[in-house]
Structure 1
């Protein structure tokens, strides 16, 4: 992936950049991610928290429980509601950036699929991807 990625929310009030290498692109099929994304699955770009920088605006957050019953902070634009990232307490030092907010999404290909036990029946997991019925980490 690129050395520096940029992105932002739908209305433009939030902008960010990510430096360094992304650690994973994950597709999550849990029902929380389906609800949050309004789609069959949610995607996250796992990065080191120290490599993420807001360059415009301030996010608002709320805490909820993940499908694995872990505390999760969701950060979003207070103006348009676009989810920018989430942070799970069980994974310190890492952020899960919502990759649909990147300026260039052409680089995205999930290498890991989580919560396949609740995936939609019409979704096909590629043969070369890791797949887990629940949350392995």
Structure 2
């Protein structure tokens, strides 16, 4: 499985992530809009066990629904070597997509698809 290196914007935190496929997930949910400062974010959703901190002390802010798996969401732009991955594989929370924004991915889901 390919391993990618990631770094936060200030460089204090570094990690590696094992990502099975070179595909972005575009998210239109309210939380991503607030945290990303735009109408969507590009993400990788991976098992928590695929994330490995290599530098710094991570501050973790987590939310997991009662039925949720142990997953971690990584912003694609924080990973090195993802700039040529192409268009998103899917869009989630498409029900919250801005009306002026066209659908980009071939697949879209009103919320998160069943795993």
What TM-score results when the alignment is normalised by the length of structure 1?
0.69
Aligned match of 1:114 = 92
RMSD over aligned Cα, in angstroms? 2.2
Question: How has the CA–CA distance of structure 1 residues 108 and 57 changed in structure 2, closer, same or farther, with 3 Å as cutoff?
Answer: farther
Answer with 112-121 or 99-108: which moved more.
99-108
Gaps of 5+ in 1: 64-71, 73-87
> Structure 1: which 4+ aligned runs deviate by more than 4 Å?
none
Distance 1:9 1:20 in 2: 18
87, 92, 112: which one aligns with 1:135 = 112
String of CA shifts for 1:33-70, please: whole Å, max 9, x gaps: 1111001102220222222101101111234xxxxxxx
Q: Is the 8 A contact 1:6 1:17 kept in 2?
A: yes
Question: How has the CA–CA distance of structure 1 residues 134 and 3 changed in structure 2, closer, same or farther, with 3 Å as cutoff?
Answer: closer
Q: How many corresponding residue pairs?
A: 112
Q: Does 1:104 align with 2:81?
A: yes
Distance 1:24 1:94 in 2: 16
What TM-score results when the alignment is normalised by the length of structure 2?
0.81
